[in-house]
């Protein structure tokens, strides 16, 4: 194992990042690599992953690209096998793939409801199911493992027209708290990160006119968080002494009230 220093506190660790082709996932993969971790990056867009791996390697890091859709359970299990074979198994999982598609419930946008549930809930569970055995094994061998799930401030607060998205994120936060009670005794820390509004591709998937207007107005009045802000938070969580588990971290733009 590579020895840790203050500049590379994650040396010797193996991180998996889902939703890594853009935004928070992309920024976090680069940051974890800069802290010394070997990083496996998962997303559907193979070309974006190749560019990301190239940048990480150019900066002296080690990265592995795996093109996979987290809603495909067999693809995720195959990805876990590859991480085990190529990198020795994960001890840090940043479970970040997700989608936000707000709309008034009376629009009955059932396809969008299902897409959010499939990705934000079922996809999350597919990844947990595939990688938790590696986290538990790594924690037993090395003394620490990390499962960090991307939730949202919407898990706590009320936003009209965001009901389904918010409900999926409430699932993520509540699940994380339960998993912590199961995995904590096995030295796997579980954390949920609940960001306020972050400037990512997430907003570009929104089709509802009212939500788009609200987002545009928000951007005029508030300086949004950046993906790098979240990346540094993930790095901070994973760099704490093994005895320290921040179970739930809410990170807000200074100007965002709720």
Q: What is the mean pLDDT of residues 59-87?
A: 98
CB 208 within 8 A of CB 234: no
4-25 pLDDT, tens digit per residue, is 667 899 999 999 999 999 999 9
33-66 pLDDT, tens digit per residue, is 999 999 999 999 999 999 999 999 999 999 999 9
234: Cα within 13 Å, side-chain hemisphere: 33
CB atoms within 10 A of CB 171: 17
Q: What is the percentage of the chain residues whose pLDDT exceeds 70?
A: 97
Q: What is the pLDDT of residue 1?
A: 47
Q: What is the pLDDT of residue 220?
A: 86
Enzyme catalytic residues = 165
φ, ψ of residue 75 in degrees (nearest 5): -65, -40
216-244 pLDDT, tens digit per residue, is 888 889 999 999 999 999 999 999 999 99
On the question of pLDDT at 2 being above 60, the answer is: no
pTM score: 0.94
Higher per-residue confidence, 212 vs 202? 212
- Kindly indicate the confidence band of residue 202, based on its pLDDT and cuts at 50, 70 and 90: low
């Amino acid at each position: 194992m590579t020895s840790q220093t203050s500049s590379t506190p994650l040396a010797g660790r193996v991180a998996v990042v889902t939703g890594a082709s853009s935004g928070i996932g992309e920024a976090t993969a680069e940051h974890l690599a800069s802290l010394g971790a070997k990083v496996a990056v998962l997303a559907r867009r193979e070309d974006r992953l190749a560019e990301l791996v190239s940048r990480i390697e150019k900066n002296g890091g080690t990265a592995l690209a795996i093109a996979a859709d987290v809603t495909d359970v067999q693809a995720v299990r195959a990805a876990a096998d590859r991480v085990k074979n190529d990198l020795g198994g994960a001890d840090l999982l940043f479970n970040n793939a997700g989608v936000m598609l707000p709309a008034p419930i009376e629009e009955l946008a059932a396809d969008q409801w299902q897409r959010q549930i499939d990705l934000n809930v079922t996809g999350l569970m597919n990844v947990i199911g595939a990688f938790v055995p590696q986290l538990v094994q790594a924690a037993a061998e090395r003394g620490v493992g990390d499962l960090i799930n991307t939730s949202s401030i919407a898990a706590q607060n009320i936003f009209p027209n965001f009901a389904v998205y918010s409900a999926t994120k409430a699932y993520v936060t509540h699940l994380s708290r339960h998993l912590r009670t199961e995995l904590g005794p096995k030295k796997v820390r579980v954390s949920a990160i609940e960001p306020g509004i972050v400037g990512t591709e997430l907003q570009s998937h929104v089709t509802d006119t009212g939500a788009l207007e609200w987002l545009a107005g928000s951007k005029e009045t508030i300086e949004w968080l950046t993906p790098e802000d979240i990346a540094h938070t993930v790095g901070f969580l994973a760099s704490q002494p093994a005895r320290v588990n921040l179970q739930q971290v809410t990170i807000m733009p200074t100007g965002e009230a709720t």
